[in-house]
Amino acid sequence: MPLTCWPSLSSFCKKSSLDILLRLAVDGDIQKDVNTRFALQDAMAALVDSIPDDDTHVLDDARESVRTAVTDEVFQLRVVSAIPDFSGRLQIFKRLLALGFFFGDDSTSDSELDQRHHLATKVVHRLKVDSRYDTHSDHVDFVKVGALITLLDIGIAGGFGVPLQSVTVKTTEMRDAEEDFNRDMDSMSKRIFTLSSRIPESGASHMSRSDAKSALDRLHDRLTKSVRTKPKVKKSVFDSHEASEYESAGKTSIMSKFLQRTKDQGVEIVTVA
């Protein structure tokens, strides 16, 4: 079917066609064939972008249909990974489907991607109460953990409701929003770090465990180094209670001041080897 035919199809046909394309992504043979995979992505992109703005319920219906049909976590990741992100609409569709698989429901809407605190709290709660993430358990399936955390990574993307980082002069309200955003990213990264730290290093003997730990570590690093708008201050026992959340350029550490003061007072500091 030529890609140019998509605009002429009815809403039902578009929904059904997108449903089929998404389910085809589960096929391992399609994933292995580069040309077929690219053709599948081109068809998805052309179909999604052909849907008028007042008919986007087609995307919601297709997303809910494939979410309820594909229940295996590895297959879910295949579906989401096959969706291209050539346009803003495709990116949102991909993120919402990834979050739908992660949460196990289709309650997350386009507008909710901007509700930063709500989604961050929901993610942390899911990671705490869902037994699939109990990395202490002897019965945990690390293949599923790795797939679900990768889905979460795709869903988070650049963060929920990201403040404008390109603005050089920020109002007090903008700075407060930025700090709130970073706190929410920190709450997620803290939980991710906890789950990763509970997985012992196993080497090549347990590849699924290593893969799950790698997925957790990648997401943690991305949240703290890329999604967060500023580097987090490294705390030490010498930090003052009045210290700002972020390190300022040229800041003199309390430890340096302490060492200089003891030197000026003639106090000898003895180190024990």
Could you tell me if residue 98 is inside a domain?
Answer: no
Could you tell me if residue 254 is inside a domain?
Answer: no
**Helices 88-103 & 57-69 angle (0-180, nearest 10):** 40
The one-letter amino acid at 71: T
pLDDT value at residue 142: 92
Location of structure tokens 């399936």: 141
Mind listing the pLDDT tens digit for each residue in 32-90? 899 999 999 999 999 998 998 888 899 999 999 999 999 999 999 999 999 998 888 99
Could you tell me if residue 218 is inside a domain?
Answer: yes
Could you tell me if residue 97 is inside a domain?
Answer: no
Q: Of 53, 72, 89, which residue constitutes the final position of a domain?
A: 89
Could you tell me if residue 73 is inside a domain?
Answer: yes
pLDDT tens, per residue, the chain with 273 residues:
556 677 788 889 999 999 999 999 999 888 889 999 999 999 999 999 899 888 889 999 999 999 999 999 999 999 999 999 888 899 989 999 999 999 987 666 665 666 667 788 888 999 999 988 888 788 889 999 999 999 999 998 876 655 545 445 567 777 777 788 888 888 989 999 999 998 877 665 578 889 999 999 999 998 888 888 777 766 655 554 444 433 443 344 445 555 555 555 555 554 444
CA distance 246 to 250: 12
Total structural domains within the chain: 2
Indicate whether 140 and 215 sit together in one domain.
yes
Could you tell me if residue 25 is inside a domain?
Answer: yes
Indicate whether 144 and 224 sit together in one domain.
yes
Coil vs helix vs strand at 248: coil
CA distance 138 to 194: 17
pTM of this prediction? 0.76
Structural domain boundaries, residue 192: 115-231
